[in-house]
């Protein structure tokens, strides 16, 4: 894997263009955060208080976030959920077959679906979010906020794992 280019969104964009631009920026930065890690390092959980939080687990979680909120809620797609309500940490857990390549590929595939869904979405439409009505654009801001927050967690994990800092 090599580092991906990640241009910062321009300042003259509309709100939808800005949200999509920052989702792309966060996506690319997230993928770049596992560049150079060994498989063992990418599975490491260096925070004792968060024993399932690994770099790959965070990427799996962000894949699940996009699936749940963008494909299922906004797009109304009948894709299987990646959540398990009985196990709050399910999407953070790694299986024996999870590798950097497979987890990043799943994240990239979900991002491709996300872009397609959002191209067709009416951003001012109201969608059902767990029996609560919410505007599509508001839900997208939630997804952007959660993605950026977890990218910050990934920054900390990477620094604890191998000392790498920065974006």
pLDDT in tens, 83-96: 777 777 888 999 99
CA atoms in the 13 A half-sphere facing the CB of 154: 29
| pLDDT of residue 167 exceeding 70 | no
The answer to whether position 167 is within a domain reads: no
**DSSP-derived pairing of the beta strands 133-135 and 126-128:** antiparallel
**What is the C-alpha separation between 103 and 33, in angstroms, rounded?**
13
* Domain-embedded: residue 43: yes
CATH assignment at residue 59: 1.20.120.450
**Does residue 10 belong to any structural domain of this protein?**
no
pTM exceeding the 0.95 threshold for the entire prediction: no
What is the tens place of the pLDDT at every residue in 51-91? 999 999 999 999 999 999 999 999 999 998 887 777 778 88
Q: Whole-angstrom Cα distance, residue 106 to residue 63?
A: 7
pLDDT at 65: 95
Which tens digit of pLDDT belongs to each residue from 20-34?
999 999 999 999 999
Q: Which domain holds residue 128?
A: 15-162
Rounded to a whole number of angstroms, the CA Rg of the chain reads 16
How many structural domains is the chain composed of? 1
Neighbours of 100 (CB within 10 A): 20
Question: Is 111 within the bounds of a domain?
Answer: yes
Q: How far apart are CA 2 and CA 50, in angstroms?
A: 28
């Amino acid at each position: 894997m090599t580092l991906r280019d990640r241009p910062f969104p321009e300042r003259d964009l509309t709100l939808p263009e800005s949200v999509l631009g920052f989702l792309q920026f966060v996506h690319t930065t997230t993928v770049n955060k596992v560049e150079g890690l060994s498989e063992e390092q990418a599975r490491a959980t260096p925070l004792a208080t968060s024993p399932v939080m690994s770099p790959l687990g965070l990427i799996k979680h962000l894949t699940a976030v996009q699936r749940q909120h963008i494909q299922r809620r906004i797009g109304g797609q009948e894709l299987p959920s990646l959540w398990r309500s009985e196990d709050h940490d399910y999407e953070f857990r790694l299986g024996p077959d999870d590798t950097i390549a497979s987890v990043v590929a799943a994240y990239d595939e979900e991002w491709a679906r996300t872009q397609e869904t959002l191209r067709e979405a009416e951003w001012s439409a109201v969608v059902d979010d767990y029996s609560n009505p919410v505007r599509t654009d508001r839900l997208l801001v939630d997804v952007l906020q959660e993605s950026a927050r977890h990218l910050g967690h990934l920054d900390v994990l990477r620094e604890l794992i191998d000392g790498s800092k920065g974006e």
